Amino acid sequence: MFPNQRIMRTVATLALAVLVAGCSSPSTPEMPFSGTTTPTHEIVEGEQGVLSPEESLRVDAEAYARRYGIPLEQAIQRLQFQEGIGALNAALQADEADTFGGLWIEHEPDFRIVILFTRNGEQTIRPYLAGKPFAQQVEVRQARFTLAELETIYAQAIHELAKLDFDVNASLDVSGNRVEVTVSDHEWFEAELDRVGAQLPEGVEVTVVEGASTARDMDLLLTPLVPGIAFARQKPVEGLGMCMTALLIGTLRLEEGCLYVQPLGGGGNLVPIWQPGYTLRIAGDQVLVINESGEVAAQVGEEVYMGGGGGSIDTWVQQQIPSACQGDYWIACGVRPNLRSDAELIALDVIPNATRKVLFLRYKPALDQQVLDSGSISGVLVAEDYNRCLHLQTDNGSNMNLLWPADWSARLEDQSVVIMDAAGKVVARVGDEVHLRGRAIPHSGDVPVYRQLINELPGDCIGASWLVDGSE
């Protein structure tokens, strides 16, 4: 990677975009915030326990079948094609580099494996498909450049873009048979290329992205927004930016002019480096962080849920941070309050005890009306440091967040949380084995109510959720 370039290389080959349950890590969730790159959180660690290869395939296929509206058997077959398609891709890159332009999979409206060649494609591919179960799904198309030529064009483009004094994203787009550079202002960008004597090679397409960030006014970000408070922002990327995908939950603190996040799970404090469009505002005795949409993303003294990742900072960012505020950094990407009071789907009660907060969630009519399929579930009622919402630990080891009726309540009794129904009768205590009637919320980013819910749930409670209707 060049020192002043953030490069996004998107060689589209075998991405099947299935939702894989039970095999994630904290660094891989998609971000559950509005205003970020991709706001869904599909995967919850441990949800399925340890699965055999056959069970894993079925879980993946069930999610794929739901997403594309096809029978389960057909979804299993498509997933089983993956290994063979990968081997085909590798063989074509190795043996047909003079004409091979790349391949990718299309899922809609029909499933097909698209393969590009610059010439003689139908003839070239024929022996490679002999005996392959997916041969009928292959479609050959004409390409202008081979994949090897695109790799060279990409490298040349990066070399030229490195002459600029701001960051630009370039991507190798196999399906478009091009290298794409995204910008916010084409005319200004071309003038900047001329200023530094940079020339992009043939095969590069400059694309204007409406609403993308711009590096044109980046020096304005160096002006402090609130005197006496360090508020470091990332160097703008012209066009589309990139995000790390780790997650941080903690409390935003302000001490002696320094903003930092005190992580919920312990460990050292982290200095947030905010996105370029974020600003700082004083409202009475409140210190507020405002996102690019004008919404409150964080408030000093309150819990915050942040995407991004830890890392080093460059000299442009460094100059915004007084020596007293320097430390370990969190490069933020997508920020929202962790404990939301303005949620449309849920109400949240915080129950403090001697060791930690316990979060009691109740569902509102807007959520109640969108989840219909009923059933029952059993397990032990628990709350833990890494998931403070009351949830059910089922017999197979999975966790199910519980959202309770609007007229139920919870209280602390002898250092134990107890749940009461609408009549004030105690129906469960933390640590009890419980049997509940209710409804499972579809656990898929394709379901609108789920996408909305994960923007409202506390970050440490995101995952499979259940609406409780009663106890048995």
pLDDT digits (tens, 9 = 90+) for 387-400: 899 999 887 777 88
Q: Strand, helix or coil at 44?
A: coil
User: From edge to edge, which strands make up the β-sheet containing 286-290?
Assistant: 279-283, 286-290, 296-299
In whole angstroms, give the CA distance from residue 309 to residue 167.
19
Average pLDDT across the chain, whole number: 85
Instruction: List own/partner pairs for 129-136 with CB under 8 A and 24 or more apart.
Output: 129/88, 132/84, 132/88, 133/77, 133/81, 133/84, 134/81, 134/84, 134/85
- Whether pLDDT at 317 is above 60: yes
Residue 225: its pLDDT value, please? 85
Which comes out higher in pLDDT, residue 291 or 222?
Answer: 291
How far is Cα 263 from Cα 253, in angstroms, rounded to an integer?
A: 11
pLDDT at 276: 87
Confidence of residue 50 (pLDDT cuts 50, 70, 90): low
For the CA atoms of the chain, what is the radius of gyration? 26
H or E element in which residue 60 lies = helix 53-68
Q: Which residue has the tokens 């060689």?
A: 11
Average pLDDT score over residue span 175-195: 94
Fold of 147-208: GMP Synthetase; Chain A, domain 3 (3.30.300)
* d(C-alpha 244, C-alpha 29), whole Å: 10
One DSSP character per residue, 108-146 reads SSS-EEEEEESS-HHHHHHHHHTT-TTGGGEEEEE-SS-
CA gap 267, 52 in Å, rounded: 35
Q: Where are the beta strands (DSSP E) in 264-415?
A: 271-273, 279-283, 286-290, 296-299, 303-310, 329-337, 346-352, 357-363, 374-384, 387-393, 399-403, 409-413
Instruction: Report the pLDDT value the prediction gives residue 354, as an integer from 0 to 100.
Output: 62
Neighbours of 216 (CB within 10 A): 16
Q: First CA to last CA across the chain, in angstroms?
A: 59
DSSP annotation of 55: H
pLDDT digits (tens, 9 = 90+) for 115-146: 999 999 999 999 999 999 999 999 999 999 99
Domain ranges of the chain: 147-208, 218-337, 346-471
pLDDT-derived band of residue 232, with 50, 70 and 90 as boundaries?
Answer: very high
Mean pLDDT of 436-455: 87
Query: What's the pLDDT score for residue 1?
Result: 28
Q: What is the mean pLDDT of residues 403-411?
A: 95
